[in-house]
Structure 1
Amino acid sequence: MSTLTYLALTLAVILTLMLCERRWACSDTRSAMRINAVAYLLFTAVQLQLLPLIQPTPGHALIQLGAWPLWLGLLTFTLLMDFGEFGFHWAQHRIPWLWRMHALHHSDPNMNVTTTVRHFWGDPLVKGLTVWPLCAYLTSPTPVILASYALVGLYNYFVHANLRVDFGRWSWLLNSPAYHRRHHSALPEHFNSNYAGLFPFYDLLFGTYRRPDGFAPTGLAKIPRTFADVLLWPVRTSQS
């Protein structure tokens, strides 16, 4: 799958969910979509340069997923990557300099589908030295597994969508807009919970699982307003 094809699929998913948000939104607070678009362009430019770090490393990995059935290899790689993302996300909320970068993502006054791409451009630099190469070198994913995982990753746009979707008593099985909105909540009683990317059972294992209890407001006191704010977000926030 080419990069252009994947970007086209991503755009289709975003537009579809934006239409759904107009009909079934859980909040009508405005979001700074222009800021989200700027953050996305900067983040993607850096991420594309780091793709070689998660390319297959034949013969050098602990587990050779290419020898496994595709479904099992994809499941294993997805579970491993999601665990890595969970751990990194937890660290972003515990380590001050990581939080100063990650706070850009949480600063959206109304979490929605475009918030998915509201990340500081330095995030992929850190992941490119930690989570991504570690998972790739442990498993040596095939190109097909990497492409399939990229498609699975599109689910994150649904997770961030401003939609009234709650899986209720099954919320521990798979992330949902209600589950993740609690993580983005501006209410102090919701802080430090629901870090999972795809599978909330990681939250269950580490004691950070909280069942969704409505659709809380989101955002931080400080928000970016200009290109410079997005480009220099950790510096701007450290001076606040």
Structure 2
Amino acid sequence: MHTTTLSSMQRITRYAYVPFMLLGLNGLGIALTAAGAPKYWLLAILAVAITTSFLAERIIPYEGDWNHDLGDSRRDRIHAVVNESLILVSVAAIPLLAAIVPAPAIWPRDWPFALQVVAAVLIADFGITTVHLASHKIGLLWRFHAVHHSVTRFYGLNGLMKHPVHQAIEMAAGVAPLILIGLPVEVASVLALTVAIQLLLQHSNADYRVGPAKYVLALNEGHRFHHLKWAGIGDVNFGLFTLLWDHLYRTYSYDPGRRFTTEHLGMAAKPDYPVDYARQLTYPFTPAGACEITTPK
């Protein structure tokens, strides 16, 4: 937001939005699942999260233009539905995978349920962050990951604006190690909710504040730097949930004085990247997708 005069609603939203999403909605998902509630309640919580995200972006927009359709809203909704469905399918498949590949009794089922969810988040964060980093270094992975970097505005649905192949690879990296050590399906269900909420926050157009937590949590202030369009500059801040691995990998970057507009986002080396869903789905398999899209250096 460019104005320094905020209404009461704007001030409340600026500081309460992230706690409401991270602690309130995730906490509600944990509590309901621990109590044995049907899993459709998690979908209801996700619907509240999406609605809250869009409301916050309109109450405290970081960049007003990013709230307007640039011919990408329908495409982004399709990406979101497809990729969120992949997440839900992966959770539903856990009992089948456990039957095929019996897991050792390593998972700490005797821990409080909330602590089990935190452990799952931290383990998944390592796998997803590492594959994300590799996707900027390995041409074959970048070919599919490039879809996500073609965005020219930053708002909640961008988080699931991914090629389904890359989405599957990232989720496998995050969830497969957990399954191999006996992840319970109940914990996996809440993990799926936390991933969706985190992606909404990480790509949000809301000008919220989290104080010093911005140096640890992988939220929108830091993630905007990841989407800078110039090759190499966006090779930072890969974390999904936290920036802990970015600090360790020396890929962390943040400049509090930097502002972003549409002209800073996208891929400078590929300004004509396909914008419609069908072409984004097929482009990585074409000769142009294989040869012209290069991994940032």
Tell me if TM exceeds 0.5. yes
Change (3 A) 1:114 1:201: same
Offset of residue 178 of structure 1: 0.8
Change (3 A) 1:203 1:128: closer
Is contact 1:182-1:194 (8 Å) kept?
yes
Identity of aligned residues (%): 21
Is contact 1:166-1:177 (8 Å) kept?
no
Structure 1 equivalent of residue 136 of structure 2: 93
Change (3 A) 1:197 1:234: same
SS at 2:103 equivalent: coil
Match of 2:275 among 221, 225, 229: 225
Letter of the structure 2 residue corresponding to residue 72 of structure 1? L
Q: Which runs of 5+ in 1 are unaligned?
A: none
TM-score of the superposition, structure 1-length normalised?
Answer: 0.85
Offset of residue 201 of structure 1: 1.4
Equivalences, count: 239
Cα deviation code 1:203-225 (max 9, x no counterpart): 11111111243332322223433
Mean Cα displacement is larger for which, 87-96 or 165-174?
165-174
Structure 2 equivalent of residue 143 of structure 1: 185
Structure 1 equivalent of residue 164 of structure 2: 121
Larger Rg: 2
Change (3 A) 1:62 1:192: farther
Structure 1 equivalent of residue 32 of structure 2: none
Mean Cα displacement is larger for which, 62-71 or 113-122?
62-71
Structure 1 equivalent of residue 18 of structure 2: none
Is contact 2:159-2:203 (8 Å) kept?
yes
Is contact 1:175-1:197 (8 Å) kept?
yes
Offset of residue 6 of structure 1: 3.4
Distance 1:26 1:48 in 2: 31
Mean Cα displacement is larger for which, 38-47 or 156-165?
38-47
Distance 2:185 2:246 in 1: 30
The answer to whether residue 65 in structure 2 is matched with residue 22 in structure 1 is no
Distance 2:273 2:46 in 1: 26
Q: How does 1:96-111 map to 2 (within 5 A)?
A: 96-111=139-154
Distance 1:234 1:7 in 2: 31
Change (3 A) 1:13 1:45: closer
Structure 1 equivalent of residue 234 of structure 2: 191
RMSD over aligned CA atoms reads 2.7
Distance 2:121 2:246 in 1: 16
Offset of residue 45 of structure 1: 4.4
Q: How does 1:1-240 map to 2 (within 5 A)?
A: 4-27=40-63, 28-29=65-66, 30=68, 31=70, 32-55=72-95, 57=98, 60-61=103-104, 63-127=106-170, 130-138=173-181, 140-153=182-195, 154-167=197-210, 169-188=212-231, 190-213=233-256, 214-216=258-260, 217-220=264-267, 221-235=271-285, 237-238=289-290, 240=292
Offset of residue 18 of structure 1: 1.4
Distance 1:170 1:48 in 2: 29
Distance 2:200 2:136 in 1: 21
Letter of the structure 2 residue corresponding to residue 16 of structure 1? T
Is contact 1:109-1:218 (8 Å) kept?
yes
Letter of the structure 2 residue corresponding to residue 229 of structure 1? R
Cα deviation code 1:26-79 (max 9, x no counterpart): 221454111111222333444444335544849723622212222332222111
Is contact 1:165-1:176 (8 Å) kept?
no
Is contact 1:182-1:215 (8 Å) kept?
no
Letter of the structure 1 residue corresponding to residue 158 of structure 2? T
Distance 1:117 1:137 in 2: 26
Letter of the structure 1 residue corresponding to residue 290 of structure 2? S
TM-score of the superposition, structure 2-length normalised?
Answer: 0.70
Distance 2:157 2:194 in 1: 17
